[in-house]
Amino acid sequence: MELLVRAVISGIIVAAVALIARKSPAAGALVMSLPLLSILAMIWLWHDTGDKGRLADHAEATFFYVIPTLPMFLLLPWMLRQGYNFWFSLAAGCTVTFLLYLMTIGIAARFGIRL
């Protein structure tokens, strides 16, 4: 039941953002840029474990994983404006993000940060 409640809350947020974006892409982007799902995940992690160290590790890792996602938000609109198909553009953005995740893990490890 708890998993269902979490899924419904998360789904409502995603659906609300999509509805907002229909009316105003910029407003939808603003709402989506808020770390609402990250905050919910941290609340649920705290509720489940009460472990400050685990929560701190989660928050820190989230920071480092957000950075490699940012280029996708430039690549996708550029590709769409160049006439590329949406699904191809999205797949390219996800592929670049995945490769940047791998690079981030490697670079972070060089500085003693374990992700």
Q: Which ranges in 50-85 belong to alpha helices (H)? A: 52-66, 72-81
Host domain of residue 61? 52-115
Domain tally for the chain? 1
| Tens digit of each residue's pLDDT, the chain (115 residues) | 888 998 898 889 889 988 999 999 888 888 888 788 889 889 999 999 999 999 999 999 999 999 999 999 999 999 999 999 999 999 999 999 999 999 999 999 999 988 8
Is 52 strand, coil or helix?
A: helix
Tell me, yes or no, whether 81 lies in a domain: yes
pLDDT of residue 9: 87
Tell me, yes or no, whether 17 lies in a domain: no
Tell me, yes or no, whether 35 lies in a domain: no
Tell me, yes or no, whether 43 lies in a domain: no
Tell me, yes or no, whether 78 lies in a domain: yes
pLDDT of residue 93: 97
Nearest Cα neighbor of 63 from 27, 89, 38, 82 is 38
Q: What is the pTM of this model?
A: 0.75
Tell me, yes or no, whether 42 lies in a domain: no
